[in-house]
Amino acid sequence: MSVHNNVKRVTTHVLQEMKRNNEKISMLTAYDFSLAGIVDKAGIDVILVGDSASNVMAGHETTLPITLDQMIYHASAVIRAVERALVVVDLPFGSYQGNSKEALTSAIRIMKESGAHAVKMEGGREIRESIERILSAGIPVMGHLGLTPQSIYKFGTYTVRAREEEEAERLIEDAHILQEAGCFAIVIEKVPAELTAKVASELAIPIIGIGAGGGADGQVLVLHDMLGINKEFSPRFLRRYLDLYTEIKGAIEQYVTDVRSGDFPNEKEQY
């Protein structure tokens, strides 16, 4: 019997049960009330209020500029729409690195002010203390390893991570450290498929991949990318399910034409 079909609300425990039952976990981002409601109704297991909102919603080049207040704004809009999915919110850059007390304060603000169910943090051993402190307050934490976009200026590029043995070994160790610290799941971004499969088979907690191959326990994509709203971003791992850029542009062009010609509104569209 499938686990995901039998739950009214997805919890961190449901995700772990899904892994034990060999059921893949589906996860997408959302940043606003309208789209989060559709994503939830479509049966997604986890909604990530990602700091990719910095790129997708605000047009920044990186995820670094988004603030804690802005993440809380997006998260509370998402929470108002969601009935079933687990809602996880990214702790933004600068709100947790290097200071576990500040990390806890940031996580508490997210939980209290948005009503979210969990937080996500980028990094391995270097943020262990912050993770443990947040967990000690009863806040579930999702980890994030591999390509961690908040460190883009350290990496220099968005290319595949952990191709070399040394970095791959470190990632495996970090995944174990995050599990021991108490993370309920880990996102692994843009690493070789074989490495993800190894980590997923070694760990008891779910591994959610993005550009990390089919061996993960689940997959996550940025909603606007998979809907084809963004034309420019087309990495190999991205499957586009719609071409919404073209659809939306076509509809708006038609509207402009109709307004200009006087075709809109017609007799039935007025009082």
List residues with catalytic annotation: 189
Query: Which is nearer to ligand KIV, 187 or 207 (by Cβ)?
Result: 187
Tell me which residue of 115, 29, 35 sits closest to 81, measured CA to CA: 35
Please give the backbone phi and psi of residue 25, each rounded to the nearest 5 degrees, phi first: -100, 130
Q: Under the criterion CB under 6 A, does residue 91 sit at the interface with ligand KIV?
A: no
Q: Which residues pair with 208 in a beta bridge?
A: 187, 218
Q: Under the criterion CB under 6 A, does residue 90 sit at the interface with ligand KIV?
A: yes
Instruction: Give 163-178 as a DSSP string.
Output: -SHHHHHHHHHHHHHH
Per residue, what are the HEC states of 42-107? CCCCEEEECCCHHHHCCCCCCCCCCCHHHHHHHHHHHHHHCCCCEEEEECCCCCCCCCHHHHHHHH
Does an H or E element contain 221, and which? strand 218-221
Q: Which stretch binds ligand KIV (CB under 6 A): 9-17, 30-38, 45-53, 126-134?
A: 45-53
- Cβ atoms within 10 Å of 53's Cβ, excluding its own: 25
Query: Which is nearer to ligand KIV, 148 or 179 (by Cβ)?
Result: 148
Minimum CB–partner distance for residue 269 and ligand KIV (Å): 39
Residue from 29, 95, 130, 219 binding ligand KIV (CB under 6 A): 29
Query: Which is nearer to ligand KIV, 18 or 222 (by Cβ)?
Result: 222
Binding residues for ligand KIV, total number by CB under 6 A? 11
Minimum CB–partner distance for residue 31 and ligand KIV (Å): 9
- Whether 63 contacts 93, CB under 8 Å: yes
Q: Which parts of 134-163 interact with ligand KIV (CB under 6 A)?
A: none
- Whether 219 contacts 212, CB under 8 Å: no
Q: Which stretch binds ligand KIV (CB under 6 A): 34-42, 50-58, 67-75, 261-269?
A: 50-58
Residue from 210, 212, 216, 227 binding ligand KIV (CB under 6 A): 210
Query: Which is nearer to ligand KIV, 107 or 210 (by Cβ)?
Result: 210
Minimum CB–partner distance for residue 4 and ligand KIV (Å): 20
Residue from 52, 106, 179, 196 binding ligand KIV (CB under 6 A): 52
Q: Under the criterion CB under 6 A, does residue 222 sit at the interface with ligand KIV?
A: yes
Q: Under the criterion CB under 6 A, does residue 211 sit at the interface with ligand KIV?
A: no
- Whether 175 contacts 145, CB under 8 Å: yes
Tell me which residue of 55, 122, 46 sits closest to 88, measured CA to CA: 46
Please give the backbone phi and psi of residue 91, each rounded to the nearest 5 degrees, phi first: -75, 125
Query: Which is nearer to ligand KIV, 29 or 130 (by Cβ)?
Result: 29
Q: Enumerate binding residues for ligand KIV (CB under 6 A).
A: 29, 48, 50-52, 90, 187, 189, 210, 220, 222
